[in-house]
């Protein structure tokens, strides 16, 4: 009888213990899953970064030569007396077009190079609220024209952090610009900052079109874009995540199609390599 | 801000004149020019730490000038000045290595603080 009671007590406790353990395991599994995803993402970025910066570098030199030759040709056309005025004009137009297209290519190669820039961040003590506000002011005029309202919720006690200010500015401006494009017309962008003892959090949330589940996994991939050809290089967000990773932080996205998106940046207060 | 040398580039002559006067009063060594071409000429001769650069200029615009400066003198820090706040030019500026943006009209103290931070960064880069 007593043995039975003891046994049932043990088994009850054992059951509780097993439930506790399995919950713990599930939690660790989930965390591992997130970490694995981040690892794959950062490895993928590193590989593509290396490849693309190599290509960008190699293409820049021939581009520079083509540009120079086009300039020389334009110059020659100006100084020679061509009989046929109409052909002369057509030649000039076509050379100018070459120059325009070279500029476009150079824009892409520069973005690629900045994406994979090897130099280490320069760390300065930074007031993140002020940094974000500067970028908010920069987009506000354009936002007003589209009836988009920026709503700030800056934590007044946000600590200064050690980070690379121009790199962080680039990310904030990119995310604000994306938020504006996702809204198109009439909507709100919420900019929030908060912190805990080791990290600060920046959230940029819009009431725009949101991201479909299918696209959510791909938005940080280089060259992934939902914009029509020529309207976006698809490098914006991949540059953002590469920068934030370099600064010791991470970006998470919460989004549902038709219900807007929330981009959440975590950054360490004390930066270490 | 000791020993910091600043170059300001803006096509509005009146703005340059007043601005240079105000910064000299604050003991800042500063030169002003009215075009991107002139700015590149100055950089050949003078050792400049921070360039304040107007985005919208006729001829060689702010972004083209920024690109030239950053290619030839990567250590120099550039702060872009903009009157209209275009997001696209803002993004281009940041991608091509601008340190910061300042919207016209600006508060002098805010600008001085940005200059100080840009100069600090240049010194850190020189040490690295």
Residue A229 confidence (pLDDT):
67
Q: How many CB pairs under 8 A join A and B?
A: 66
Residue B27 lies in a domain: yes
Q: Which of A79-88, A194-203, A238-247, B6-15 bottoms out in mean pLDDT, i.e. has the lowest?
A: A79-88
Q: When comparing pLDDT for B54 and A10, which is higher?
A: B54
Radius of gyration of chain B (CA): 13
Q: Tokens for B80, please give them.
A: 């872009």
Nearest CB neighbour to B101, from listed A138, A141, A180? A138
pLDDT above 90 for A121: no
What is the average per-residue pLDDT within A12-22? 88
Interface of chain A toward chain B, CB-CB under 8 angstroms? 107, 110-111, 114, 120, 122-124, 134-135, 137-142, 165-166, 169-170, 173-174, 176-177, 180, 239
So what's the pLDDT on residue B105?
86
Min Cα distance B24 → chain A (Å) is 26
**Could you tell me if residue B59 is inside a domain?**
yes
* Alpha carbons B61 and B36: distance in angstroms, whole number: 7
| Stronger pLDDT, A200 or A45, i.e. the higher one | A200
User: Among residues B63, B70, B101, B104, which one has the least CA distance to residue A131?
Assistant: B101
Overall domain count for chain B: 1
C-alpha distances (whole Å) from A172 to each of A264, B26, B91 are 11, 32, 10
* Beta-strand relationship, A250-255 and A199-206: unpaired
| 3-class secondary structure, A26 | helix
CATH code: domain of residue B19: 3.40.50.2300
Q: For the complex shown, is ipTM > 0.90?
A: yes
Are the beta carbons of A174 and B125 separated by less than 8 Å? no
Instruction: Give the pLDDT confidence of A220-269 residue by residue, as tens digits.
Output: 887 778 777 666 777 788 889 989 988 999 999 999 998 999 999 999 99
pLDDT at A82: 65
Domain contains B30? yes
Interface of B with A in 12-71 (CB under 8 A): 67
Question: What is the predicted pLDDT for the residue at A128?
Answer: 97
* Chain centroid, CA B53 distance in Å: 4
How confident is the model over A134-147, as pLDDT tens digits? 999 999 989 999 99
What residue has token string 């213990």? Answer: A17
Asked whether A146 and A106 are in contact (CB, 8 A), the reply is: no
Q: Per-residue confidence at A158, pLDDT binned at 50, 70, 90? A: very high
Domain segments of chain A: what residues?
Answer: 1-118, 124-268
Residues in contact with A26: Cβ distance below 8 Å, sequence separation at least 6, in sequence order: none
Whether B119 is covered by a domain: the verdict is no
Contact flag B101-A166 (C-beta cutoff 8 Å): no
Q: Cβ(B35)–Cβ(B11) under 8 Å?
A: yes
Sort out which chain B residues have CB atoms less than 8 A from A174's CB and list them: 91
Mean pLDDT of B73-101: 89
Per-residue model confidence (pLDDT) at position A156: 96
Q: Is pLDDT of A201 > 70? A: yes
Question: Per the CB < 8 Å rule, is B87 touching A180?
Answer: yes
CATH code for A124-268?
3.30.565.10
Q: Select from B56, B64, B86, B87 the residue whose CB has the most chain A CBs within 10 Å, as the one to mutate to test that interface.
A: B87
Q: What average pLDDT score do residues A97-125 get?
A: 81
> B28: domain range?
5-85+95-110
Q: Span A23-29, mean pLDDT?
A: 88
B103 CB neighbours in chain A (<8 A) are 134, 137-138
Instruction: Please determine, for residue B74, whether its predicted confidence score (pLDDT) is greater than 60.
Output: yes
Helices (H), chain A: 2-79, 85-115, 128-145, 165-183, 213-216, 236-246
Q: Do A177 and B87 touch (CB under 8 A)?
A: yes
Q: Is A138 close to B99, i.e. CB distance below 8 A?
A: no
Residue A118 pLDDT exceeds 70: no
Integer Cα distance of A146 and A149 in angstroms: 9
Q: Which residue of B has its CA nearest to A114?
A: B95
A118 contacts on B by Cβ (under 8 Å): none
pLDDT at A164: 95
Interface of B with A in 84-123 (CB under 8 A): 84-87, 90-92, 94-103, 117, 120-121
Write down the mean pLDDT value for chain A.
Answer: 87
B52 three-state secondary structure: strand
């Amino acid at each position: 009888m007593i043995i039975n009671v003891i046994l049932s007590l043990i088994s009850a406790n054992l059951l509780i213990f097993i439930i506790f353990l399995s919950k713990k395991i599930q939690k660790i599994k989930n965390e591992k899953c997130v970490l694995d995803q981040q690892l794959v993402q950062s490895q993928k970025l590193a590989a593509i970064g290396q490849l693309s910066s190599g290509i960008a570098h190699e293409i820049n030199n021939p581009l520079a030569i083509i540009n120079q030759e086009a300039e020389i040709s334009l110059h020659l056309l100006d100084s020679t007396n061509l009989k046929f005025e109409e052909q002369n004009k057509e030649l000039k137009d076509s050379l100018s077009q070459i120059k325009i297209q070279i500029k476009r290519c150079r824009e892409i190669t520069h973005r690629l190079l900045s994406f994979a820039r090897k130099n280490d961040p320069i760390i300065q003590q930074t007031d993140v609220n002020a940094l974000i506000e500067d970028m908010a002011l920069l987009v506000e005029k354009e936002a007003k024209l589209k009836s988009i309202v920026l709503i700030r919720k800056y934590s007044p006690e946000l600590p200064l952090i050690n980070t690379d200010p121009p790199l962080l500015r680039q990310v904030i401006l990119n995310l604000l610009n994306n938020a504006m494009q996702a809204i198109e017309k009439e909507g709100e962008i919420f900019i929030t900052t908060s912190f805990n003892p080791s990290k600060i959090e920046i959230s940029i949330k819009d009431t725009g079109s949101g991201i479909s589940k299918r696209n959510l996994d791909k938005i940080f991939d280089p060259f992934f874009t939902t914009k029509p050809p020529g309207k976006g290089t698809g490098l914006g967000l991949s540059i953002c995540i590469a920068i934030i990773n370099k600064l010791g932080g991470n970006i998470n996205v919460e989004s549902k199609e038709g219900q807007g998106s929330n981009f959440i940046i975590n950054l360490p207060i004390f930066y270490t390599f | 801000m000791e020993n910091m040398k600043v170059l300001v580039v803006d096509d509005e002559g009146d703005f340059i004149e007043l601005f240079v006067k105000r910064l000299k009063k604050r003991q800042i060594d500063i030169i002003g020019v009215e075009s991107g071409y002139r700015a590149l000429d100055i950089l050949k001769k003078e050792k400049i730490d921070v360039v304040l650069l107007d985005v919208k200029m006729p001829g060689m615009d702010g972004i083209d000038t920024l690109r030239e400066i950053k290619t030839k003198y990567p250590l120099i820090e550039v702060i872009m000045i903009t009157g209209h706040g275009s997001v696209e030019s803002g993004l281009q500026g940041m991608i091509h290595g601008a340190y910061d943006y300042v919207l016209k009209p600006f508060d002098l103290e805010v600008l001085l603080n940005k200059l100080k931070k840009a100069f600090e960064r240049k010194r850190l880069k020189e040490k690295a």
